[in-house]
Amino acid sequence: MYRLKKAESFIEFKNGKSIKPEKDGVYPIYGANGVIGMSSKYREENSVVIGRVGAYCGSVQFCKGKYWASDNTIVAYPKNSDTYIVFLYYLLKNSNLSRWAGGSAQPLITQTLIRQIELHYTNINNQHKIASILSAYDDLIENNTKRIKILEQMADAIYKEWFIKFRFPGYEKVKFVNSELGKIPEGWEVKQLDKYVDFERGIEPGSDNYENFPTNDNIPFLRVGDLGNRNSEIFVDVSLAKDKIINEDDIVVSMDGTPGIVKIGLFGCYSTGIRKLIIKDNIIKKSFLYFLMSSEHIQNIIKAYSKGTTILHAGESIKHMNFVLPDSRIIKIFDDIVSPIMKEILLINKQNKILRQTRDILLPKLISGELDVSDLEIKVRETDKEKV
């Protein structure tokens, strides 16, 4: 049986609380867009975090284990054992809470508002079945994300060995000379990155042109927050995107808000806080550029030139990005080794995209009962039992 019930009838809510992150903390601190630090204390355990205010107002996360919820969040958990916590997470995720947000200066959602929202509800057996189906997709996405991280770590280790420690093939026979960045192999040079790469700034089509659902005529609109692990929830008409589009093999870097996030594998129109990296000279390869941008040296330059009180802006850093340009032969050997790894990363990214799309198609149909699971024989998996 599926019916509509007011959220307050089966969900408990409470506001998160402010806390200062600690260097040696062991419990994650969740903000509206994920982990923002660590703490030695915790207040919550195995519950749902909702973004309460700001750009991620209405966002929904399932937080496993013990954690602290920050003051820009609302914590939700079942009132009793008739509601399964993982089902509750998917229920709230499907409810598009951001549409209930008020506030003139910035979006705000309150407990009072959420309590009155009517949500689809079903019996505990169906809840477990629905959660099991959707969790299977999320578990595959999580495993793929771990694979991507391992592959990136492998490639990054090669980059650091060759271009930071200078232990590249044949380094034993190379003479080292002084440079403004310290001793470097003879024949390598210190150059300005913007001589070899264009940093193309995105656009801002205006919030009046944002669309909440994908259609054949629109594409995702990527903001700095979308460079994390979450999908963009905003779309814009293709005609407004113009030529400010990134494809899955493009490298991007954030220059506003949280400067220095480097990503590949995304698709969509992109905001002014993001720059697309366009190689001007074939001497530099994408594989080399990706790990150069992620390197401590470039990240420190971005950090040093990040200015602003409320929102950080780091566009000024681009003209200060110097780097050691290796011998073209070494870059080619590196590219021959690392490009296949990057291709594998992009392939797994595509798999995750398909998994997310399939899950997001199933989510509203399962929650509403359009796809009724009552007669399905679905065994609750051990992984789901651990999430209770």
The per-residue DSSP string of 157-206 comes to HHHHHHHTS---TTGGG--EE--TTS-EETT-EEEEGGGTEEEEE-----
Q: How far apart are CA 111 and CA 74, in angstroms?
A: 7
Going by pLDDT thresholds of 50, 70 and 90, the confidence category of residue 380 is low
Tell me the torsion sign for CA atoms 5, 364, 84, 60: negative
Mean pLDDT for 44-73 is 92
Q: Stretch 61-85: mean pLDDT, rounded? A: 95
Contacts by 34-37 with C-beta closer than 8 Å and gap 24+? 34/61, 34/228, 34/229, 34/230, 36/70
pLDDT of 106 higher than 60? yes
CA–CA separation, 228 and 149 (whole Å) = 13
- Please give the pLDDT value at position 54: 81
Summarised one tens digit per residue, pLDDT across range 200-212 is 999 998 878 888 7
Angle between helices 85-94 and 328-368 (to 10 degrees): 100
Distance CA 287, CA 300 (A): 20
Provide φ and ψ at 136, rounded to 5°. Answer: -60, -40
- What is the separation of C-alpha 146 from the centre of its chain, rounded to a whole number of angstroms? 13
> Alpha helix (H) ranges present in 18-123?
85-94, 111-115
Q: End-to-end CA distance of the chain, in Å?
A: 22
Residues 318-359 pLDDT 10s? 999 999 999 999 999 999 999 999 999 999 999 998 999 899
Please indicate whether residue 384 or residue 249 has the higher confidence score (pLDDT): 249
For the chain, give the mean pLDDT.
92
Give the residue-averaged pLDDT of 302-307. Answer: 96
pLDDT band of residue 23 (cuts 50, 70, 90) is confident
Q: What percent of the chain has pLDDT over 90?
A: 77
Query: Which pLDDT score, from 0 to 100, does residue 211 have?
Result: 84
Please indicate whether residue 164 or residue 281 has the higher confidence score (pLDDT): 164
**pLDDT for the residue numbered 292:** 98
pTM of the full predicted structure?
0.83
CATH 3.90.220.20 maps onto the chain at 2-140+350-386, 189-325
**C-alpha torsion angle, residues 146, 149, 155, 158 (rounded to 10):** -100
What average pLDDT does the segment 251-269 reach? 94
Distance (Å, rounded) from C-alpha 16 to C-alpha 44?
A: 9
Q: Give the whole-angstrom CA distance, residue 212 versus residue 233.
A: 6
The letter for the amino acid at 124 is I
The length of the chain is 388
What pLDDT band is residue 387 in, cutting at 50, 70 and 90? very low
d(CA 44, CA 47): 7
Mind listing the pLDDT tens digit for each residue in 164-197?
999 999 999 999 999 999 999 999 999 999 999 9
pLDDT-based confidence at 231, cuts 50/70/90? low
Lowest mean pLDDT among 24-28, 233-237, 245-249, 268-272: 233-237
CA distances from 262 to 159, 266, 277 (A): 15, 11, 10
Which of the four CATH numbers 3.90.220.20, 3.40.630.40, 3.40.50.620, 3.30.40.230 does domain 189-325 have?
A: 3.90.220.20
pLDDT value for 386 = 46
Residue 383 has pLDDT above 70, yes or no: no
pLDDT at 169: 95
Structure tokens at 162: 């060759």
Amino acid sitting at position 305: Y
> 2-140+350-386, what's its fold?
Adenine-n6-DNA-methyltransferase TaqI; Chain A, domain 2 (3.90.220)
The band of 263, judged by pLDDT with boundaries at 50, 70 and 90, is very high
pLDDT over 60 at 237, yes or no = yes
Banded pLDDT at 86 (limits 50, 70, 90): very high
3-state SS string for 290-327? HHHHHCHHHHHHHHHCCECCCCEECHHHHHHCEEEECC
